[in-house]
Copies of this chain bind each other. A is one copy, B any other.
Amino acid sequence: MAERVITPRSEDYAQWYQDVVAQAEMAEAAGVVKGCMVVRPHGWAVWEKMQADMDRRFKKTGHKNAAFPLLIPMSFIQKEAEHVEGFAPELAVVTHAGGKELEEPYVIRPTSETIIGHFFSKWIDSWRDLPMLINQWGNVMRWELRTRLFLRTGEFYWQEGHTAHATHAEALEEVERMLDVYRDFCHEHIAMPVIRGIKTEHERFAGAIETRCIEGMMQDGKALQCGTSHDLAQNFGKAFDIMFQNENGEREYVWQTSWGSSTRLVGALVMSHSDDNGLVLPPRVAPIHVVIVPIYRKDEEKGPVLEAAHRIAAELREDGLDVELDDREGIKPGAKYYEWERKGVPVRVEIGPRDLESESVMIKRRIADVDERGKPMKEKLPMADLGIAIGKVLDEFQTFLFDRSKKRLDENTIQVDTWEEFTDVFSGQNSKFVYAHWDGTTETELAIKEATKATIRCIPHPEDGPSPEGGKCIKTGAASRQRVLFAKNY
């Protein structure tokens, strides 16, 4: 039995998360750079898989990538009143460069609405230039005190979409379109169901008139915001003088949107699927689909087993799978099994002398049913057409993970109508997704948070939450137009 390196969830959920990330060698705190992280190769490879698919979706919906400066003049941040109020406390400021003090300091971008707005004002002249649909992949910096790997760090990696439209209606369509792109990505790739909705005024992006979001449920029932899409209206258009001549020859301000998702999604993935043995990766975002572990005892077995292992690896790669062949010497198969389990590889292939005779291999899924003695079951698969068979196993595993997350979400989502029950639900460490009535005021929102630590995650999309109907606020008893989603959150 391997030594215990991962704290069980039941014992300490926060420590479990840290252990999983550390043991899978995904990331670590930078330490010497306050609040920042190093994303190690296994973590970055997951993010690259996510990026590739999201990028495909962005391009399919007509967006083009570009790169804008990392530094933003301080005066730019101050041009939109709510924007500066929201971001000023978190800014990192460059005051010196090239050996001199700067006349005007720059900030490291916390987000790029301002600098991109400046260039939109140069590039947009006529209705023919619209819509302008830009995305940027990069790093941003928001000075944070309480940090947590992937979930909240000073520097993080993300994409930010920025678009300009001729009408508010078109901008709103874009806001919804991109929220659905995020939702589809989470469902189809991260195997994590999410709830779409609208943020309250208190939780809105600084500078937007409306923020839409998707919220996922982690294994402790807490919510994690996984992507946002903002209706910026003409706020930045007016601040940065972004005007276009419409078809009637009149000058108008553009209508803008912005939308973002980040390396937080890696944290969401970890907390959605992993277990006490370590990381669990949905096949579609797994950098390694299959690890092959050759098994032999005697010297005369080694040659034929390794030869077969290499041949199978080559065949599986031909079939488009990402394969790792672990032929390290001096490490026992069992130790290899544990290591690759901790790294979340979906399928393990074991191949030994007896498998050569029967022209088959043993495979084990990262999460397998157990037999009557509680031992995880393996499956015997013929070597012929192994790639097709494993492809099927991976598809099933992807579906299994989504279904499991969906079941957890459904089982931990409730409607609550009394304050007593509400406080009871949120009294422990964990959380649920609670639909309850709210009177629509920030005052009540904050009072509920103060009393229970639960926040309003969103006003749910009619398709994703209970259908809107009136009621009485859980806290004040005042009139409510519809139930909103409460949960503790990351």
In contact, A94 and B97 (Cβ under 8 angstroms) = no
In contact, A95 and B95 (Cβ under 8 angstroms) = yes
Chain B contacts of A90 at CB under 8 A?
A: 98
Q: Mark A58-88, 1 if CB is under 8 A from B, else 0.
A: 0000001111111111001000000000001
In contact, A71 and B138 (Cβ under 8 angstroms) = no
Nearest to A64 among chain B residues (CB) is B41
In contact, B92 and A66 (Cβ under 8 angstroms) = no
Chain B contacts of A93 at CB under 8 A?
A: 94-97
In contact, A155 and B71 (Cβ under 8 angstroms) = yes
Chain B contacts of A279 at CB under 8 A?
A: none
Q: How far is the CA of A30 from the CA of B30 in the complex (A)?
A: 31
Binds B, one of A1-9, A32-40, A227-235: A32-40
Chain B contacts of A89 at CB under 8 A?
A: 98-99
- Does chain B have a CB within 8 A of A313? no
Q: Smallest CB–CB gap between A453 and chain B, Å?
A: 24
Q: If A45-B65, A94-B94 touch, does A70 touch B38 (CB 8 Å cutoff)?
A: no
Q: If A66-B38, A69-B155 touch, does A32 touch B76 (CB 8 Å cutoff)?
A: yes
Q: Smallest CB–CB gap between A332 and chain B, Å?
A: 15
- Does chain B have a CB within 8 A of A115? yes
Q: Smallest CB–CB gap between A345 and chain B, Å?
A: 15
Q: Smallest CB–CB gap between A106 and chain B, Å?
A: 7
- Does chain B have a CB within 8 A of A119? yes
Q: How far is the CA of A366 from the CA of B285 in the complex (A)?
A: 39
Interface residues, chain A, CB within 8 Å of chain B? 30, 32-33, 36-41, 44-45, 48, 64-73, 76, 88-99, 105-106, 108, 115, 118-119, 134, 138-139, 141, 143, 145, 155, 157
Q: Given contact pairs A44-B66, A108-B108, enumerate 9 new A-B contacts (beta carbons under 8 Å).
A: A33-B106, A41-B66, A70-B139, A90-B98, A92-B98, A94-B95, A94-B108, A95-B95, A98-B143
